[in-house]
Amino acid sequence: MFWLILFSSVFVFGLAILAKTFASKTAKLDGRHVVITGGSSGIGKSMAIQAAQMGASVTIMARNKEKLDEARTEIQGHLKANMKVETISVDLSTSYDAVKSAMQQAEGKCGPVFMLVNSAGSSVSEAFVDLKPADFPKMMEMNYYSAVYATKAVVDSMVGQQAGRIVFLSSQAGQIGLFGFTAYSGAKFALRGMAEALQMELRPHNIFVTVSFPPDTDTPGFQKELQAGKPKETVLISETAGLFKADEVARTILTDSLHGKFMSYVGLDGWMLASITAGMSQASSLVEVITQVLLMGILRLVGLFYLSSFDKIVLRCKQEKDAGKQKSS
Ligand SMILES: NC(=O)c1ccc[n+]([C@@H]2O[C@H](COP(=O)([O-])OP(=O)(O)OC[C@H]3O[C@@H](n4cnc5c(N)ncnc54)[C@H](OP(=O)(O)O)[C@@H]3O)[C@@H](O)[C@H]2O)c1
């Protein structure tokens, strides 16, 4: 009885302290400037359209000029009065100076950046033995350094404003290592580590960092990855979580970022993965803390069932390949 009372008191006291920490930090986009890397396609383009609908001026950055122009025309139809959409063609993955100059150009046209969304990225899905050594630095450049450069190029301006939002698009493959994603997962896990450290540095400046962990989402990038041919194991494992619409994922990320939420996820699997992998990451709400504290143990058990079913898929595929080899020899 004594221990129960002690535990309950500590729990309630802890929650009271945390409640203070979660003081309201909700922001609006009206009249503000949002920069979206990778805003010419997929989740980034959906976010650009929704940010325009919320009253923001939007700058989208990507490499292909034609795709940027097409996206600009689409976004223009959603802008509110006096708001603008700008496009900048830049490769974000190779040179910090090029990204810095793009960001200065964006601020010159649409004013200080309030929100930066790092959506530019791409994946390669092959078994480790089949990947080329060059695939690993390429994944880091496309997914990690592109986001580091864009963030570095904008952070001084946000600190000057003492306000801002920075979003990183990781992936569920940035929470759990899956067959076929050794190169991609490395880069997406790296984003999370950087984001955790950055959040601690920027919070005193009223700047909130969000890491999004999208599930499989129906975008041109996702379709391209399918056409390039994923290992059967990766396809079968990914199928278990379903396929989501870019608009739904984009809406969740924007809402979570505006609420200053650190981890952004979609769907039941997304919630489960975020809870299991919360680790020492920032908590964003009391409800989140309570569910994590109460459910972490049981979710770990559920997670182990998932892992065991994934291992079975990998083993079955190996047996099929071995049988195929025996037939042909
Ligand atoms: N779709 C999914 O299932 C899924 C799941 C989890 C996480 N994600 C992540 O979510 C983000 C968006 O994915 P998506 O499927 O919406 O992608 P997408 O449709 O392929 O769009 C990618 C965007 O990034 C731009 N981009 C790529 N490399 C770039 C570079 N080096 N410099 C500048 N721009 C670059 C592309 O334009 P250009 O090619 O013209 O440069 C395009 O605008 C990515 O980071 C992805 O890893 C996606």
Q: What is the pLDDT of residues 28-58, one digit of tens each?
A: 999 999 999 999 999 999 999 999 999 999 9
Q: Which CATH superfamily is domain 25-296 in?
A: NAD(P)-binding Rossmann-like Domain (3.40.50.720)
Is there a catalytic annotation at residue 109?
A: no
The answer to whether residue 20 scores a pLDDT higher than 60 is no
The answer to whether residue 24 scores a pLDDT higher than 60 is no
User: Where do the structural domains in the chain lie, given as residue ranges?
Assistant: 25-296
- Give the pLDDT of residue 282: 86
Is there a catalytic annotation at residue 184?
A: yes
Record the pTM: 0.94
Mean pLDDT within 126-133: 97
How many percent of the chain have pLDDT more than 90? 84
Closest ligand 1 atom number to CA of residue 68: 40
The answer to whether residue 148 scores a pLDDT higher than 60 is yes
What distance in Å separates the CA atoms of residue 188 and residue 234, rounded to the nearest whole number?
17
What pLDDT band is residue 294 in, cutting at 50, 70 and 90? Answer: very high
* Closest of 38, 168, 48, 45 to residue 93, by C-alpha: 38
What distance in Å separates the CA atoms of residue 218 and residue 222, rounded to the nearest whole number?
6
Q: Name 290's Cβ contacts closer than 8 Å, sequence gap at least 6.
A: 15
* Closest of 256, 226, 261 to residue 243, by C-alpha: 226
Ligand 1 centre to CA of 289 (Å) is 31
What pLDDT band is residue 150 in, cutting at 50, 70 and 90? Answer: very high
288 touches 202 (CB < 8 A) = no
Closest ligand 1 atom number to CA of residue 212: 7
Ranking 33-37, 128-132, 225-229 by mean pLDDT, the lowest is 225-229
